[in-house]
Structures are given as structure tokens and as C-alpha cells.
Amino acid sequence: MRIFRDLDMVEQLGSGIPRILARYPETIYHFTTKFIRLVIPYAHGFDGANDQDDKLIACCQQPRFITEMMDYLGLKHRTYFRRKILNPLLDMGRLELTIPDKPKSPKQKYRKKDNQIK
């Protein structure tokens, strides 16, 4: 790591861990008796986001139904939307459920998670 610092390829040593802790949910950490496994989701780029994701996050300042979000992005295929857009944002902790104990509720809405650093 020192080589990268000497070449000015990193801003400071040790800055990555606080960023990971601030950006990703606790569910990415897996503790065993001898190891800590950290699984960082890779969605749409190095920072885990793209313009479409950012647009959807902006839309979800207020809680939205899945149909509202799909209409906002101009998408029709619910399975594609769930697998490729919604679930990665939920996994990364950028969106959250308004009724977390009933994820399949017809009244379920999604909103921007408050503790984001951008």
C-alpha cells in the first residue's frame, strides 16, 4: 500500500475501511471463529451505482410503490426491474422497505435510506 501512497494513487492510507462501513449494510459482514468475510456487492460500476440508480434514489425521497418506480424509469418488465435494479439497491443499503417485516405486502413501498454518504 505504501507504494500506491508514494505514487499519489491513494488519498491517504486507511481511508477505505471507513468508506465501506458508511456505504454498505451490516449484512455484508460474515463472522466465523477464525475469519471475517466481507462480501461487497458489485452492481453497476466501481462505486456500485449508475445514473439510473441515482435517478431512482432521487425519486424515492418519498416512499414509492414498485409500479411508481418502474413508471418513473419507463420500464415495464417487473422481474427485470427487481433483479437488475431494485434488489441491488436494497442489498447495497441505498433503498429500504417501508414494511420490512412484510416484504411481499401489496402495500409495500420503497424509500431512500437516510444514512447514505454520497
103 phi-psi bin (left φ>0, alpha ψ -120 to 50, beta other): alpha
Indicate the pLDDT class of residue 39, thresholds 50, 70 and 90: confident
Q: What is the phi-psi region of residue 14: left when phi exceeds 0, alpha when psi lies from -120 to 50, beta otherwise?
A: left
pTM here? Answer: 0.56
Greatest mean pLDDT range, 7-11, 28-32, 36-40, 82-86 = 82-86
Q: Which domains does the chain have, with CATH numbers?
A: 1-40 (no CATH), 42-118 (1.10.10.10)
